[in-house]
Structure 1
Amino acid sequence: MSSAKLYKSFRNGATHSHLVICDENGECCAITTGLGTNHWMVGIAECARRIADMVERAKNDAGIPQETRLTSLGLSLSGCEQQESNRELSLELRNSFPDISDSYVVCSDTMGSVFTASPIGGMVVISGTGSNALLKNPDGSTHNCGGWGHFLGDEGSAWHISHRAMKTVFDDMDNFAKSPYPVERIWELIQQHFNIKTRLDLLPHCYAKFDKSFYASLCKKLALVAVEEDNELAKSLFTDAGRQIARSITALLPKVSHSLVDSGELNIVCVGSVWHSWQLLREGFIKELSLYTVPFRLNLVTLTKSSAYGACYMGADAIQYDLARNYSDNVKIMFQYTCKNSAKANGNGYCQSNDIPPEGRV
């Protein structure tokens, strides 16, 4: 094993990180998980330490000696949109943990998802703790919508859904803006989640003791209430989130290169836990898309493998190594949307959307 080329990939969100080590044939040697590694949240030094810890554990699992450096290390990380801070992280790893890798590639977490699905680019929409949308064209150009964090964005994310639930309850109780639906059940859910009794008790969780991941985890409970109890307020929060996610897609559509959609369709990789509630998002998503003329079919696809594989592919490409990969095994279609000659525009068009049953997804 020590003489083989080893490509390690690492993909993280704000909450969890995933790591995979592949050999020179593209075969997985080890997979492990760890804490979030967004350097804006934990700092460059701690981010590097967490990465090193995961590499060490993965090497042990794969039977690789700790002194054996990986040939290339692909890091597809939340918060890594700036070249300067990416270089700083790479330098920190080289200096503090010299036995990790010979080569480094550091990029945004969205890139790992794109390259897991396709070698030429595409679109990825992340809706997990936070949200982000990215388009990469075959010519290498990239365009973003979102990814600014909870102070400036994160629309359609678990954090945003949770925050809107709390804000709706507070505004209704203040008589500032009355909710169109009863708020009592959602307030009860908030109290249980944060273990509080009054609204004042919630303030430390919003400020002094703010934990974005825990705050966002309320979203899962809201989804359960929406489905199991048919709660109208909870359902409306997800409907709105669906619209927000669709808006991030329509914001990027004008930037899509013709060469990316010469097949007549565009794959959009859906990443993050909020997508597990697709049936709750669906109505708002379709309503928002119906406002636009989309000249090609949109395929919402999910990854069947960790987006860490995309980071692994980038690590190999960075040193011009032709690592074996099979993209058709990496994705499956979840939903398809077609809108030709918008009915809104000329009265003669049509819009069609299809959910793909799990057994029929390819």
Structure 2
Amino acid sequence: MSYVFGIDGGGTKTICILIDENRVVLGRGEAGPSNYQTQGIETAKQSIEVAIERAVLSAKIEPNSNLNIEAICLGLAGVARPKDIEIVQFVVQNLQLTNTLPVTRSLLPRNIVICSDCAIALVGGVGNPVGIAVIAGTGSIVFGQNRQGKTKRVGGWGYILGDEGSGYDIAVAGLQAALKFYDGRSEFTVLAQKFQQHLGLNNLEELVEVVYRRGWGVTEIAALAPIVDRAAAEGDRVADGIISRAVAELTFSTKTAISALFSPTEEFEIVTIGGVWGSEANFRGRFESAISAIAPNAKVILPRSEPAFGAALLALNALKN
């Protein structure tokens, strides 16, 4: 029996899944962040190691049995260039499992797969590497791969340079609309009242203190996106316009990926991943309608499995090559 690790490493947490050659999940472990770009190499290494240890311990392996790990796939945020892959390879080479764990490793170089978190999100969401993942959470990115192995990435440039259609993008647009109404520069929107109530402000001018003086970052601001979505669902025209624009941005990014990877009549799946899709304002339904006009044979789906499972599947595929 062959066993592999699949690792999903991001800016907030790292997840490791242990599966066998029959795709049966034996263990799962979670640890801290492993985006080495923001956390540093040592922190990333430690998080990966802890996640692996916890996955093995959760598997409840018999004392006299021994698992031989033959492949590992790490899908990590911040891994986009050959230099990034070299750095992560160094991290993997220096990973040491504690002697108390009933696991040995026989990892050949070709069985160590290092890729972006987008790639494992696609494989986990669809169940294979062919299709498109449209990720819209705090940030946003579109990633796809066709049957010939060609890949295409659209967006994902971060909150300053891009991330259109993301939670951060929606929240900022909502805050700006509320302040424009407060100034008298635009039409009425209930967003002004909703933000004021949610944040416990005496008036919207106190947003300056909240956002700037308290040092709010991307995560805190993006967390306000559901307020915009809820206002849109309740019929606020300004909020609805913000949601419509976000859908249009993600649709255009997806169209760009489709044009680069698939023929007009080709069948493939598009998996939607991230908190933005849990909308009360029919965000996903609007997106599906727009996509059907662009790619009538494409099917928009919910994720079948989590990204870490996608990483484990890529590790299994490495054993076959």
TM-score interval for Structure 1 and Structure 2 normalised by the shorter chain: 0.7 to 0.9
1:78 aligns with 2:77: yes
Amino acid in structure 2 at the alignment position of 1:214: E
User: Hey, which bits of structure 1, 4+ residues long, moved more than 6 A?
Assistant: none
Residue 350 of structure 1: aligned partner: none
Task: Indicate how the Cα distance of structure 1 residues 173 and 15 shifts in structure 2: closer, same or farther if over 3 A, else same.
Answer: farther
Asked whether the equivalents of residues 118 and 133 of structure 2 are also in contact (C-alpha less than 8 Å), the reply is yes
Which residue number corresponds to residue 140 of structure 1? 149
Provide the C-alpha distance between the structure 2 equivalents of 1:159 and 1:94, rounded to a whole number of angstroms.
36
CA contact (8 A) 1:122 1:268 kept: yes
**203 and 113 in structure 1: CA distance in 2 versus 1, 3 angstrom threshold:** closer
* Aligned residue-pair number: 306
Match of 2:222 among 216, 221, 239: 216
Q: Residue type of the partner of 2:215? A: K
Distance 1:173 1:148, change over 3 A: same
Shift of 1:118: 4.5
Higher relative contact order (CA 8 A, sep 6+): 2
Partner of 2:304: 304
What is the deviation of 1:5?
Answer: 2.8
Please, which of 125, 150, 154 is the counterpart of residue 159 of structure 2? 150
CA gap 1:178/1:123 in 2 versus in 1, 3 angstroms: same
Q: In the alignment, which residue of structure 2 is the partner of 1:188? A: 196
1:256 equivalent in alignment to 2:264: no
Partner amino acid for 2:211?
L
Do residues 178 (structure 1) and 186 (structure 2) align? yes
Question: What is the aligned counterpart of 2:135 among 108, 117, 126?
Answer: 126
Letter paired with 2:165? G
Partners of 2:178 and 2:189 within 8 A in 1: no
Q: Which secondary structure state, in structure 2, belongs to the residue aligned with residue 29 of structure 1?
A: strand
Match of 1:359 in 2: none
Matched, 1:108 2:113: no
Structure 1 stretches lacking a partner, 5+ long = 322-362
1:199 aligns with 2:201: no
Q: Measure, in 2, the Cα distance between the counterparts of 1:283 and 1:28.
A: 32
Q: Which residue of 1 aligns with 2:101?
A: none
Q: Deviation per CA, 1:129-182, whole angstroms, max 9, x where unpaired?
A: 11110121222211111011111111111121112122222344345x424534
Other-structure match for 1:276: 278
Matched residue, 1:319: 319
Q: 1:29 to 1:287 in 2, by over 3 A?
A: closer
**Cα distance in 2, alignment partners of residues 257 and 22 from structure 1:** 32
Alignment-mate amino acid for residue 29 of structure 1 = L
1:83-136: per-residue Cα shift (whole Å, max 9, x none)?
A: 211220221232253669535311111211322324351111111111110121
SS at match of 1:214: helix
Closer/same/farther in 2, CA of residues 68 and 288 from structure 1, 3 Å limit: closer
Residue of 164, 169, 182 corresponding to 2:178: 169
Counterpart secondary structure, 1:129: coil
Which of 252, 263, 267 is 2:269 aligned to? 267
Residue type of the alignment partner of 1:71: E
**In the alignment, is residue 27 of structure 1 matched against residue 24 of structure 2?**
yes
The answer to whether the Cα contact below 8 Å between 1:86 and 1:106 also exists between their aligned partners in 2 is yes
Q: Which residue of 1 aligns with 2:3?
A: 6
What residue in structure 2 maps to residue 238 of structure 1? 243
Partner of 2:144: helix, strand, or coil? strand
Counterpart amino acid of residue 115 in structure 1 = V
CA distance in 2, matches of 1:297, 1:143: 19
Distance between the aligned counterparts of 1:313 and 1:239, measured in 2?
Answer: 35
Q: 1 CA distance for matches of 2:306 and 2:295?
A: 30
1:278-305 deviations in Å (ceiling 9; x for gaps): 7532575367558xx6354221111232
Whether the aligned pair in 2 keeps the contact of 1:15 and 1:213 (CA below 8 Å) is no
How far apart in 2 are the matches of 1:283 and 1:5?
A: 41
Cα distance in structure 2, aligned partners of 1:296 and 1:58: 41
Contact 2:229 2:281 in 1 (8 A): no
**Residues 19-58 of structure 1 aligned to structure 2 (within 5 Å):** 19-58=16-55
Deviation of 1:79 (Å): 2.1
Post-superposition offset of 1:311: 0.9
* Structure 2: unaligned runs, 5 residues or longer: 99-103
Range that drifts further, 152-161 or 296-305: 296-305
Q: Could you say what secondary structure the match of 2:29 adopts?
A: strand
**Distance in 2 separating the partners of 1:253 and 1:26:** 29
Residue in 2 aligned with 1:342?
none
Please tell me the residue identity of whatever aligns with 1:49. Answer: Q
Structure 1 SS opposite 2:302:
strand
Secondary structure of the 1:277 match is: coil
